[in-house]
Amino acid sequence: MSVKWYLHKLAMMFGAEARRPNKDEETDAARAMKKFQKTPEQTVERRKIIQHELDFPVVSNKWKFARWTSIILINVMFIVSFAWDVQLVEGAMTASRFLGFHMADPTGALQVMLAFKQIMLNLLIGTVTVMFIWWFFGGRAFCSWACPYHLLAEWAEAIHLFLAKRGWVKDHPFHRGLRVVLWFVFMGLALVTGYTAFEYINPVGIVSRALIYGPSLAVLWVVFLLSIEIFFSRRFWCRYACPMGLTYGVIGTAAPIQIKYELDKCVHEGECRAVCLVPHVLDITKMGYAQDTEEFIAPDCTRCGLCVDACPQGALSFTLRGLDKVI
Amino acid sequence: MSTVPTPEQPKKKRLTRRELERRRMLIRSGAAGAVAVTAALVGLYPVKAQVFDRLRPPGALPENDFLAACIKCGQCVQVCPVEAIKLGDGTEGYGLGVPYIDARGQACDFSCDAVQCVLACPTGALSHDISAKEEVFIGKARLARPSSCLAMKGLGFEGHARGQDFEGLLRYEEIDRWTPIKIADHPYDLELCDLCVRECPIEDAIYLEPLSGDDGDARHQPIITDKCVGCGTCEMICPTEPAAIVIDTEQSIERQKGAVS
């Protein structure tokens, strides 16, 4: 993979628009494959396949349910640990002890250190542990496999899509660079004001604490965010705003676990992009957008697996980097 | 004669639909960013205006450092055997998710012996510098309503200190060294009310002093010494309503000093 193309994929996480690979970025194999796919016989063949997909839709929820189980299990562990005093995971999503080992949310820990202007050892250990775990799963896997807000937002998204299909609401996109600006503004605020200002509006902390310690008025803010997502902008917080997502995205840029895209299986009908939280990472699945015949999708991916479930051709799959070389 | 448009004349540029959409999207993004930052800054008000005056758990750093260093995880809440520690709500601004103690409802009676909350704190917002209850400084007790204090009136006390429905827990070493029980399960019969002195977990922090040298005068005044750590057990156990004795936070002690001078 060319370095330039990789940097482009990285830049997308910081708000850059998805684009076609340039002639010098595209591999010869990819060029040949695209040319082959554009031949009249192949075009006819592809249309047939797509028509078949439409006539006999295959619905798979394998990864979605695995993921929901993961989110629920992780959060229930927190709830149960306190409610029944079993001391499995003590604390909340912002910081905890898992069987005694420190865990800390990197974004929260950074804010605390910026606000307090001291490096706290336990917090650093917890942050590094958490970074290592989510680095392994890659992208911002935390979001879709652990974040309690993500699950609520997924349900809100279902309502949004239901309403949108009937034309009652419309999705209003935002610039993805907003998240980067907010990240720096909130870290700056922590440093300048000496308070963890973002934690005041962080729905992840609010939801997590509400689940464990009981509801608070702060939950109203989360309700407000969810109603924005239902009525105004699909997945607003996770797509365009959450600084935690950006931190995790950066942590997971070069991860062992990846989503692999295989150009030869793809019929470019766009099922994957329709379900994706971060569709810009799947722009390579558009006709003529792939850089190589096989490539990993961009680091902003949350490894949610919705595209893997959605693809009727099996062109997208979870993979462990380097596994094919080992076996 | 036809008019030829001069090259200098600026052509009114008509935006395409796409450009218009993009412009709207950028304006929307700016507005959303402004709303998010403003919402986060709302939390500054209750803190700066000191709307709340909270007792913080043992070992807490000075208020502003404490708010900065706390990661709002509630691990201190989880280890407290009497559940004295609560987490602040959104109305407390940056105190959201930050632990506090409502002494009247449930005081920190040091049932845990070794400041468990301090050990639980992952950030050091509850400073690891302290290891014994005597080193704690939560605040300081003050006889705020001397006229309602039973000892000051020379009166005794019989019955449940806080009524039969009170949920608060206290460790009575003479009953069970390890498990705190409900105050409601432990009625008293006292000739002179000395509950604040009797139940104080810190040695020599509070004592009763006769108001006069007269032997027939039963009136006594609770005197709070410098050993008081502000755990709030006296405020919790005080049978008058509202409590005659209360805990002042460091902030309110400062304010009172300011008001005097």
CB pairs under 8 A between A and B: 156
Residues of A in contact with B73 (CB under 8 A): 91-92, 94-96
Same domain, A275 and A310: yes
Same domain, A167 and A261: no
Helix (H) or strand (E) holding A124: helix A121-137
- Asked if B33 and A182 come within 8 Å (Cβ–Cβ), the reply is yes
Question: CB-CB: which of A115, A175, A241 is closest to B25?
Answer: A175
Least Cα separation, residue B139 to chain A (angstroms): 22
Residues of B in contact with A92 (CB under 8 A): 72-74, 97
Backbone phi, psi, residue A124, to 5°: -65, -45
Same domain, A15 and A50: yes
Least Cα separation, residue A264 to chain B (angstroms): 33
To the nearest whole percent, how much of chain B has pLDDT over 70? 95
- Asked if B29 and A177 come within 8 Å (Cβ–Cβ), the reply is yes
Question: CB-CB: which of B25, B33, B40 is closest to A201?
Answer: B40
Residues of B in contact with A172 (CB under 8 A): 25, 28
Among B96, B100, B116, most A C-beta atoms within 10 A, so best to mutate, is B96
| Interface ipTM | 0.90
Least Cα separation, residue B122 to chain A (angstroms): 6
Question: CB-CB: which of A186, A220, A236 is closest to B40?
Answer: A186
Return the exposure string of B134-148: e unless at least 16 CB atoms fall within 10 Å of the residue's CB, then b.
eebebbbbbbeeeeb
Residue A196 in contact with partner chain B when CB distance is under 8 A: yes
Note the helical H segments in B83-231. 116-120, 195-198
Instruction: Write down the residue that tokens 């970025």 correspond to.
Output: A25
Same domain, A301 and A178: no
Residues of B in contact with A182 (CB under 8 A): 33, 36-37
Question: CB-CB: which of A126, A198, A209 is closest to B122?
Answer: A126
Rounded to an integer, the average pLDDT of A46-62 is 89
Least Cα separation, residue A283 to chain B (angstroms): 19
Cβ pair B59, B13 in contact under 8 A: no
To the nearest whole percent, how much of chain A has pLDDT over 90? 79
Instruction: Write down the residue that tokens 């807000």 correspond to.
Output: A149
Same domain, A75 and A222: yes
pLDDT at B1 (0 to 100): 47
pLDDT digits (tens, 9 = 90+) for B12-42: 678 889 899 999 999 999 999 999 999 999 9
Q: How far is CA B149 from the centre of its chain?
A: 24
- Asked if A193 and B44 come within 8 Å (Cβ–Cβ), the reply is yes
How much is the pTM?
A: 0.91
Cβ pair A73, A80 in contact under 8 A: no
Least Cα separation, residue A119 to chain B (angstroms): 9
What is the rounded average pLDDT for all residues in chain B?
90
Q: Picking from A165-174, B8-17, B75-84, B183-192, which range would have the lowest pLDDT averaged per residue?
A: B8-17
- Asked if B77 and A182 come within 8 Å (Cβ–Cβ), the reply is no
The nearest alpha carbon in chain B to A82 belongs to: B78
Question: CB-CB: which of B26, B64, B90 is closest to A218?
Answer: B90
Cβ pair B220, B208 in contact under 8 A: yes
The last residue of one of the domains, among A226, A251, A276, is A251
Residues of B in contact with A205 (CB under 8 A): 72, 97
Per-window interface: A 116-135 vs B, CB < 8 A: 116, 118, 120, 122-123, 126
3-state secondary structure of B157: strand
Per-window interface: A 164-183 vs B, CB < 8 A: 172-175, 177-178, 181-182
- Terminal Cα-to-Cα distance of chain A (whole angstroms): 22
Cβ pair B206, B225 in contact under 8 A: yes
pLDDT at B9 (0 to 100): 58
In the predicted structure, residue B63 carries a pLDDT above the cut 80: yes
Same domain, A32 and A136: no
Rounded to an integer, the average pLDDT of A77-104 is 91
For A92, the domain range is 62-251
Same domain, A44 and A148: no
Same domain, A101 and A183: yes
In the predicted structure, residue A21 carries a pLDDT above the cut 70: yes
The nearest alpha carbon in chain B to A93 belongs to: B73
The side-by-side arrangement of strands in the sheet containing A89-92 is A89-92, A95-98, A101-104
Q: In angstroms, what CA-CA distances link A95 with A112, A123, A230, A262, B78?
A: 11, 8, 30, 39, 13
Same domain, A82 and A224: yes
pLDDT digits (tens, 9 = 90+) for B112-128: 887 899 999 999 999 88
- Nearest Cα residue to B208 out of B126, B152, B145: B152
- Nearest Cα residue to A198 out of A182, A221, A181, A177: A182
Q: Give dist(CA B89, CA A180) in Å, integer.
A: 28
pLDDT at B78 (0 to 100): 94
Higher-confidence residue of A325 and A159: namely A159
pLDDT digits (tens, 9 = 90+) for A189-247: 999 999 999 999 999 999 999 999 999 999 999 999 999 999 999 999 999 999 999 99
Residue A96 in contact with partner chain B when CB distance is under 8 A: yes
Least Cα separation, residue B179 to chain A (angstroms): 15
- The secondary structure of A140-167, three-state, reads CHHHHHCCHHHHHHHHHHHHHHHHHHCC
pLDDT at A49 (0 to 100): 92
- Asked if A172 and B25 come within 8 Å (Cβ–Cβ), the reply is yes
Residues of B in contact with A174 (CB under 8 A): 25, 28-29, 32
In the predicted structure, residue B74 carries a pLDDT above the cut 50: yes
Rounded to an integer, the average pLDDT of B214-243 is 93
Same domain, A138 and A105: yes
Per-window interface: A 25-84 vs B, CB < 8 A: 81-82
pLDDT at B3 (0 to 100): 56
In the predicted structure, residue A117 carries a pLDDT above the cut 60: yes
- Asked if A91 and B29 come within 8 Å (Cβ–Cβ), the reply is no
Same domain, A34 and A72: no
Quote the number of domains for chain A: 2
Same domain, A228 and A98: yes
